[in-house]
Structure 1
């Protein structure tokens, strides 16, 4: 999705206080088929990547965190259970059909939020777990936005020219992590099928309802062994 016609800000200059209550959905049920191993269990700073990202989500002080994980993967579940025992706001949802794609995982997360009757939330922060340079200031910048959708702007890693990262953001994509009004997310739930996720729905909004927080570092996600090796060489992931 092009960001040419929507508001774009820099995360460094936009991390300010926010008022509205929010929840977090962490999408962590991917099968990592191209990578050949569970990316949830890659290590960053001595802990599984999924736990590292959950701790980032906790820094935003959400009302609750829904983390969607694949069923029948005991190591992932065990790693999260240990963290959830320390932080009761973390709630685990098992995806029995992880092969169906991210949209189904997100739909499960939305259902789990609807089932929590003691919550009063205005917006939802939606995250993946493999953007290894994601940090708390970026999440706070997303939450500081006022539009119906406040998304992240970055470029595909394979096309990213590291020496000219600022220029590449002129043709960035708009994606996760993002913050969305809760009621709008509920309205869109029925349209979430397979890999047909939020991007095509966000395109349907008028530009005035979308803001993008640009962050070139989010280009670095982990989908292939080559990307994993590069990240380990850079020290972004543990070897």
Structure 2
């Protein structure tokens, strides 16, 4: 990639073992497609330079269920997904090595609004234009921070220090600036870890359908 000044990679973390769910939650159906496909398709309208979905070895046989026809998109195999979230984040950092930063998404947040994604993306570009290299952009709903999270390229090497099922909080603490965007979007916090979470999602979807509202 010749010019990476404002090139941002969108990276979806989807290599988890889904132990609390008991089945691969990334492929659970929601509104006619797998949850992971919803996550990928939310990124396609934005001008990401590259889009990656980080998956585990156990998911390889099912990737054909999600046809994505976009030259920017690529599957990335996390060979160490049994080690926990740290390995997935390290894959994400590697994905962004040729970009100005990475915007990290979770595969199980289907209620995330497109406007939230756009606001995080636009804020990241604004900060890059000001010369920022070690900053984070993160949405917050009701003062609670969620996903997606943008990490500028100056922070990507710090992901190497993470271990086990550790998330990105230690990397965020190393940021020179942390830009938090208040959003009216509970989808930045709502993810699907258990069968009860999934049933709640389906019930909410059914309630919206009965109310005559679309997505």
Same-fold call, TM cutoff 0.5 = yes
Does residue 138 of structure 1 match 2:116? yes
Measure how far apart 1:99 and its partner are. 1.9
| 1:69–1:92 Cα contact (<8 Å) kept | yes
> In structure 1, what is the equivalent of residue 14 of structure 2?
28
Aligned length: 192
Choose which of 169, 176, 187 in structure 2 pairs with 1:217: 187
The secondary structure found in structure 2 opposite 1:132 is: coil
Choose which of 77, 82, 99 in structure 2 pairs with 1:99: 82
> In structure 1, what is the equivalent of residue 161 of structure 2?
191
> In structure 2, what is the equivalent of residue 8 of structure 1?
none
Structure 2 unmatched runs, 5+:
128-134, 208-215
Moved runs in structure 1, 4+ residues, more than 6 A?
none
Measure how far apart 1:23 and its partner are. 1.0
In structure 2, how many angstroms separate the alpha carbons of the residues matched to 1:227 and 1:74? 25
Which has the higher relative contact order, 1 or 2, with Cα contacts under 8 A spaced 6 or more apart? 1
Q: TM-score, normalised by structure 1?
A: 0.73
> In structure 2, what is the equivalent of residue 16 of structure 1?
none
> In structure 1, what is the equivalent of residue 150 of structure 2?
179
Instruction: Identify the range of structure 1 (143-152 vs 58-67) with the bigger mean alpha-carbon deviation.
Output: 143-152
The secondary structure found in structure 1 opposite 2:147 is: strand
In structure 1, how many angstroms separate the alpha carbons of the residues matched to 2:155 and 2:53? 20
In structure 2, how many angstroms separate the alpha carbons of the residues matched to 1:53 and 1:30? 15
Q: TM-score, normalised by structure 2?
A: 0.80
Does residue 150 of structure 1 match 2:120? no
Measure how far apart 1:213 and its partner are. 2.2
Structure 1 unmatched runs, 5+:
1-18, 155-168
In structure 1, how many angstroms separate the alpha carbons of the residues matched to 2:104 and 2:72? 15
Trace 1:103-142 onto structure 2 (pairs within 5 A): 103-114=86-97, 119=98, 121-142=99-120
The 1:231/1:184 distance shift into structure 2, 3 A limit, reads: same
| 1:150–1:179 Cα contact (<8 Å) kept | yes
Q: What does the per-residue CA deviation read over 1:64-84, in whole Å, with 9 as the maximum and x for residues that have no partner?
A: 11211011324432224x21x
